Amino acid sequence: MTIHHPIRQTSRLLTILSILTIAGPCYAFEALITNERSGTVIHVDAQGQTTEVVPICRRPRGMVRGTTTDEVLIACSDDHKVIIYDRIKRQVTREITPVPGAMNLTIHPETNRLLVTNEGAAKASVFTLSTGELIAALPTGLEPDGIAITENGSQIFVASENSGLVHVFDGVTYEPRGTIATNLRPRRIALRNDTLWVSTEMGSRVEIFDINTLVKINEILFAPKGFRPEQMTPVDILFNDAANEAYVALGSANHVAVVDLNTLAINKYILVGRRAWGLGLSPDQSTLIVLNGLSDDFTLIDLATKRPRLTKRAGLIPHSIEVFE
């Protein structure tokens, strides 16, 4: 006769639940990561395993989703082109060239336009996405990096690192519409509602501007314990409206800041790898993926607990990320 012990059964059940919890979320996704120095794009699953390594070009940097869920567009800086990469077939299907010193890029699907910053040429280029035809060149300051276009296509913003400016252009005529003076070395820019968020790498902050008046309305300063101000070198910015949070990669401070979107208070600093650079979010908003440019790896963060779940090897100098279901 077998005697079942309720306490032992409960203990076993708790052990199983604990194991399942440690294993992390089971929501499946695929992340694509460009690796600047190794010239590859890698495919990564929800458990952080690299499932494919694909050589694509010299110095792949910025990446953006294409107009279909199968494609991404990748800026190949040293090859002076933008490639269209099919993530299902694992191959390059088309090229747009020449694109001198292609750095970062964005797409405006409604008008079928591709916008690319040309780092060494002090300009941004606008192409017809379907044909690759160059339709406008936008003059900027030295080392343009981040680029964004409003949802209605009426305004284009380009950040110039060495000039300390964000250049504003009319999204229809491409005429200059003004400049925004920022702190030192503006890097990435992100639009949310009627505001423009700008990370200033040597300013240790994110500055927030009204896109209609171009006036600064707020800023977020970063100061995790144990780090000097000059180590606060914020780069990527990512919004998670479902959680009412923004995430900022703090570069040489080796942390990600979690910002409350209502109060702009910093709720938490999360320690990751060396020189936190790029950011990606899983489709269910449960996992933040952080690219660490100097330790050549990436960190998966559980956003329910705000704790790192694991860190895995990437290629050499991971730069940009896109995440798909």
What is residue 115's predicted lDDT score, i.e. its pLDDT? Answer: 98
The pTM of the whole model exceeds 0.75: yes
91: Cα within 13 Å, side-chain hemisphere = 2
Return the bridge partners of 142, or none: none
Give me the residue label for tokens 């194991």.
19
Cα separation, 279 vs 109, in Å, equals: 22
What is residue 179's predicted lDDT score, i.e. its pLDDT? Answer: 98
Return the bridge partners of 76, or none: 60, 81
Cα separation, 249 vs 259, in Å, equals: 11
Cα separation, 290 vs 275, in Å, equals: 10
C-alpha angle 87-91-95 in degrees, rounded to nearest 5: 105
Side by side, the strands of the sheet bearing 287-292 are 276-281, 287-292, 297-302, 307-313
Q: Which domains does the chain possess?
A: 58-221 (2.130.10.10), 226-325 (2.120.10.30)
Cα separation, 185 vs 195, in Å, equals: 19
Give residue 125's pLDDT band: very low, low, confident or very high (50, 70, 90). Answer: very high
pLDDT digits (tens, 9 = 90+) for 243-261: 999 999 999 999 999 999 9
| Mean confidence (pLDDT) of the chain | 92
What mean pLDDT comes out for the span 171-180?
97
Q: Would you say 93 and 85 are in contact if contact means Cβ atoms under 8 Å apart?
A: yes
Cα separation, 229 vs 211, in Å, equals: 28
What is residue 4's predicted lDDT score, i.e. its pLDDT? Answer: 42
Give residue 289's pLDDT band: very low, low, confident or very high (50, 70, 90). Answer: very high
Cα separation, 11 vs 310, in Å, equals: 27
Q: Would you say 259 and 249 are in contact if contact means Cβ atoms under 8 Å apart?
A: no
Cα separation, 289 vs 300, in Å, equals: 5
Give me the residue label for tokens 């032992």.
8
What is residue 3's predicted lDDT score, i.e. its pLDDT? Answer: 40
Give residue 224's pLDDT band: very low, low, confident or very high (50, 70, 90). Answer: confident
Cβ atoms within 10 A of the Cβ of 113, count?
A: 20
Cα separation, 252 vs 163, in Å, equals: 21
Checking if the pLDDT of 8 tops 50, the result is no
Those residues whose C-beta lies under 8 Å from the C-beta of residue 40, and which sit 6 or more positions away, are 34, 53, 54, 55, 56, 60, 315
Token digits of residue 179 = 């400049």
What mean pLDDT comes out for the span 202-225?
95
38: Cα within 13 Å, side-chain hemisphere = 19
What is residue 57's predicted lDDT score, i.e. its pLDDT? Answer: 98
Cα separation, 264 vs 258, in Å, equals: 9
Cα separation, 158 vs 161, in Å, equals: 10
